[in-house]
Structure 1
Amino acid sequence: MKNIVAGVLDVAYLDQGPVDGPVVVLLHGFPYDIRAYDDVVARLSHAGYRCIVPYLRGYGPTRFMDAATPRSGEQAALGADLLALLDALGIGKAILAGYDWGGRAACVVAALWPERVTGLVSCDPGYNIQDIAKANTPASPEAERRLWYQYYLHGERGRAGLAANRGDFCRLLWSLWSPTWAFTEATFANTCSSFDNPDFVEVVVHSYRHRYGLVTGDPAYAQIEQALASRPAIVVPTIILSGADDGVSSKRDDRSAVRGFSGQVTRRVIEGVGHNVPQEAPDTFVDAVINLSGIV
């Protein structure tokens, strides 16, 4: 494990594989951490890739440099964190691969700074940039049911519940979102300690309130949020990975899944897999990265 100051964060990250290999940045989601990529990293580094796997803001050993920095979980902050990490590490261009929050960070950078991105692996919903202006448009009852945890965190009862029961709360989401994944208690415990980060609760709560326009964002990211509001197209080559048993992402057909992409894009639906694609289907995830880079 290494640390580097990148933007407003002291980022803890894994750096594995040959230093001169093609770079792939692997980005975890909520409520997970870098352990989701253990098998992916082992296989990609063996294949000659340099794998960079950071803990996102609010997770694990990653820390804010300044106590006065807002503990924002907004999409612009996640994208800015990723761009700052690339800059700090001197990485001009990389494959970006992620899911959930990590997939959002990757999509933000791919959309706004495509010159920094060789290719993109994004799990459902594929185009993972939030349309905040339309966030309060009701979805189907089934889709709304899947988002109960977001609405729970909109109130102070939810904030207190997450703070008091973060392990149980996150374990429940793992079970609901990946109903066919028989993860062990040891596997969950390997990740659960990352939720003890002192900023975890504030970053998570802000994320699920900001995306509905319930709270303001960090002014430092206002220009990025403004650019994202225009729904910029993603032009870099992309592979979308969709778990057929994902318990949180709404089901969609291929045509609607690839909206937002104007470059080469393909979608692969993985049977027997839920929300945590890299940990549940590491071989498929590795294949997607290799297919994008053309390395075999």
Structure 2
Amino acid sequence: MNPKTVNAGAMEIAYLEFGSADGWPCILGHGFPYDVHSYSETATFLADAGARVIVPWLRGYGPTRFLDDKTPRSGEQAALAADLLAMMDALGIDKAVLGGYDWGGRAACIVSALWPARVVALVSGNSYNIQDIARSGDPIAPEHEAMLWYQYYFHSERGRRGLARNRQALARTLWRMWSPLWQFDEETFEQSAASFDNDDFVDVVIHSYRHRYGLVPGDPAYAHIETQLVAQPPITVPTISVDGDADGVNPGTSHHTQQFTGPHEHRVFNGAGHNLPQERPVEWANAVVDARKMAVG
């Protein structure tokens, strides 16, 4: 399937589209270090269920490109959300079902929290996925700190050089650590790993993992969004949140319930790790369909 592109905000966003153009809009966001292929099977199921499924490459991945060389290569959460909202505007999509995990889930959560009129329903991997940067310096349990080693690695220039030099090997390591029960083959990995050859990948990734700890400034263009996120706004749209019970980087998020003030259901995918839609495509597709039913009946 050949990607389509659209100019949206600061980006030329590349995306795959599945289903009929007059289907109900559904936008699905991938995480780090993955890409649009996380949704290959899920999108097909959803298209058969009547959806128009749009799966974009995030900034710094695959064929997505910055429109201006002078634009900061920000990977902050507000930038990801702004890209998603700008894409909806550029495609003329007034409202959509949003879904995502990791970085893509963060963008979907922010749009759902700050622009709920644009969201029919939400499916969020790892639940309330909006960073609390003001509290990012608070220590957590040592066994959970250990899961985040790669983030602290990226805080150093050694980590930047390591990502630049070994991006595929590092990503393969994270895939194995985060989804220990997922028996992906090399072809599956290589299909997604090609997206890490984007010229902006390293800069965007490093900025993301430094900004979330308050170590570097954000892009001033998104400061108004980051300011609103300090309050950790609730998500009011109908939501199904999802965890995998074999996730090697996230120990579970059922305690996020209080952040969802609208209709909400939490699901756990048995045996699934971090890459939820690719490991459990039918279950993820069912969650999207069910979230939409929560909203429209």
Give CA-to-partner distance per residue, 1:39-80, whole Å, 9 cap, x none: 001111112110000000000000000000000000000000
Letter of the aligned partner of 1:267 in structure 2?
H
TM superposition shift of 1:241: 1.0
- 2:266 counterpart residue number: 267
SS of aligned partner of 1:174:
helix
TM superposition shift of 1:270: 1.1
TM superposition shift of 1:134: 0.3
SS of aligned partner of 1:259:
helix
Letter of the aligned partner of 2:48 in structure 1?
H
- 1:31 counterpart residue number: 33
- State the distance in 1 between where 2:259 and 2:242 align: 15
- 2:153 counterpart residue number: 152
Superposed, which structure 2 residues align to 1:277-292 within 5 Å? 277-292=276-291
Is the 8 Å Cα contact of residues 243 and 252 (structure 2) preserved in structure 1? no
Letter of the aligned partner of 2:210 in structure 1?
R
- 1:201 counterpart residue number: 202
Give CA-to-partner distance per residue, 1:159-198, whole Å, 9 cap, x none: 0000000000000000000000000000000000000000
Displacement over 4 Å in runs of 4+: none
Give CA-to-partner distance per residue, 1:184-218, whole Å, 9 cap, x none: 00000000000000000000000000000000000
TM superposition shift of 1:250: 2.2
Matched-pair identity in %: 57
Is the 8 Å Cα contact of residues 33 and 191 (structure 1) preserved in structure 2? yes
Q: Normalization by structure 1: what TM-score?
A: 0.98
- State the distance in 2 between where 1:250 and 1:257 align: 12
More divergent stretch after superposition (243-252 vs 154-163): 243-252
- 1:143 counterpart residue number: 144
Superposed, which structure 2 residues align to 1:4-19 within 5 Å? 4-19=6-21
RMSD, aligned α-carbons: 1.0
Letter of the aligned partner of 1:216 in structure 2?
P
Superposed, which structure 2 residues align to 1:91-240 within 5 Å? 91-124=93-126, 126-240=127-241
Is the 8 Å Cα contact of residues 127 and 259 (structure 1) preserved in structure 2? no
**Aligned length, in residue pairs:** 293
- 1:78 counterpart residue number: 80
Q: Normalization by structure 2: what TM-score?
A: 0.97
- Structure 1 unaligned residues grouped into runs of 5+: none
- Structure 2 unaligned residues grouped into runs of 5+: none
TM superposition shift of 1:260: 1.2
TM superposition shift of 1:257: 2.9
- State the distance in 2 between where 1:167 and 1:60 align: 14
TM superposition shift of 1:13: 0.4
Give CA-to-partner distance per residue, 1:143-167, whole Å, 9 cap, x none: 1000000000000000000000000
Letter of the aligned partner of 1:278 in structure 2?
P
Is the 8 Å Cα contact of residues 29 and 99 (structure 1) preserved in structure 2? yes
Is the 8 Å Cα contact of residues 238 and 263 (structure 2) preserved in structure 1? yes
